[in-house]
Amino acid sequence: MKFLICFSALSIVGSCATLSYKEKIQNIKDGISIEQPEKIVHYANTITSTELKQHLYQFASHEFQGRGLGTVGQKRAANYLKDYYISQDISSPLANSVYFQHIPKNVLGIDQDGSENVIAYIEGSEKPDEVIVVSAHLDHKGIDEEGNIFYGADDDGSGTVALLEMAQAFNLAKKDGLGPKRSILFLHLTAEEAGLQGSRYYVNNPVFPLEKTVSNLNIDMIGRVDRSHEDNPNYVYIIGADRLSKELHYISEEVNNTFYNLDLDYKYNDENDNNRYYFRSDHYNFASHNIPVIFYFNGEHEDYHQISDTPDKINYPLLEKRTRLIFATAWQLANQETRLKLDD
C-alpha cells in the first residue's frame, strides 16, 4: 500500500511537471504574432534573384582573388561592400562614412596590414539601442600556390549578397516610414576562414553593447543544395535556434510557416552531431556570450572549399527564397512588441 501511494504521488508530480513544460511552450507560441505580414511580403519581394546574382558575379569574380585574409582581393571586397552602402545611403554606426572596423595584424597573426569587418546599420525608430545583428563572412581562401582562385561563391558570397539585399529592403521600408523599431546591424565579418577571428574581435569590441544585442542571424552558405536534398531543394538547415531561446525557435518556425514553407531541417542541430557546425561559424562567438543565434546553412557539397565554388552553380531562386525568410525573421525580431527572451 505504502509503495503504491508513493508510486501514484510520483506519477502525479511527473505529469504536472510535463504539463507545465507543455504550457510554457504553448505560452511562448501563443505570444508570437507576426508583425505587419503584408508589409513583410511587400519588402521581402524587393529581394530578387536577379540582384542577388548581379552582386554575386561581382563578389565571387577574379577581381577579388578569392578574398584571402588581408590580401588586395579581400580589401577590394571590403571596399565593394562599403561603396554599396554609401550608394544606398545606408549609414555606419561607427562614424560618418567609416564602415571598417579595423583589426590589427598582430591580433590576426598575419603579415599584411591587418583586415577589417565591414559594418552598416539601419537605426531603429523606437528602440534604437537594441540591435539585431545579421552577419556573413566576407573573406575566403584566396589563391593557391598554382595561382588558382578560390571564388567562394557559396562560401560565403551567398550570405554576403543576402545581407546587401536585406539592407536595401529594410532601407526602402524606412524611406516609406516603416523602418524597423529596433536597429539592424549588417555585419560583414573578416577572418572567418582563419578561425572565426573577425566575429571574436567584434564581440570583444562591440559597436552596440552585447547586453543590448537581441539576436544574431548568421548566414554561411545558402546558395546551393547538398546531396541529401537533391530531390527536395526547398530546404535550409537551421542550427542553434532553440539552444538559448525557445521563443527564437518558434518565431523562426512561425515566420516560415506564414510566408515561405521551406523545409527547416534540424539534422545538424542535434547536439551529438559529429560535424559540430554550431561551433564552426561566426554565430558561435555571439552564442558564447549568451546571445540567441540562428545559423542558416545549406550543408556541404562537392565544391565546398574547392576552386570550383563558382557563381554559375548557385541556385538563385532558392537563394532568393532563403534570403526572404531571413529578412522576414529579422523584421519580426526588430518589430515585435517585447524583446526576444532568453530561456530561464
- Judged by the rule CB under 5 A, the positions of this chain that interact with Zn ion are 155-156, 220
Query: Shortest gap between Cβ of 250 and Zn ion (angstroms)?
Result: 27
C-alpha dihedral sign at 308, 311, 316, 320 = positive
Contact 224, 301 (CB under 8 A): yes
Nearer to Zn ion, 163 or 169 (CB): 163
DSSP string, 161-184: HHHHHHHHHHHHHHHTT---SEEE
Helix ranges (H only) for the chain are 2-31, 37-44, 49-59, 72-87, 105-108, 159-175, 197-204, 246-255, 283-287, 316-335
Nearer to Zn ion, 198 or 292 (CB): 198
Nearer to Zn ion, 28 or 60 (CB): 60
Nearer to Zn ion, 180 or 311 (CB): 311
97: left (phi over 0), alpha (psi -120 to 50) or beta: left
Query: Shortest gap between Cβ of 238 and Zn ion (angstroms)?
Result: 17
Residue carrying C-alpha cell 574547392: 306
Query: Shortest gap between Cβ of 248 and Zn ion (angstroms)?
Result: 22
Query: Shortest gap between Cβ of 236 and Zn ion (angstroms)?
Result: 15
Q: Find the largest Cα–Cα distance for the chain.
A: 82
The DSSP letter of residue 229 is G
Nearer to Zn ion, 40 or 293 (CB): 293
Query: Shortest gap between Cβ of 304 and Zn ion (angstroms)?
Result: 9
Distance from C-alpha of 194 to C-alpha of 111, rounded to nearest angstrom: 14
Query: Shortest gap between Cβ of 137 and Zn ion (angstroms)?
Result: 6
CA angle 188/286/245 to nearest 5° reads 125
Nearer to Zn ion, 94 or 304 (CB): 304
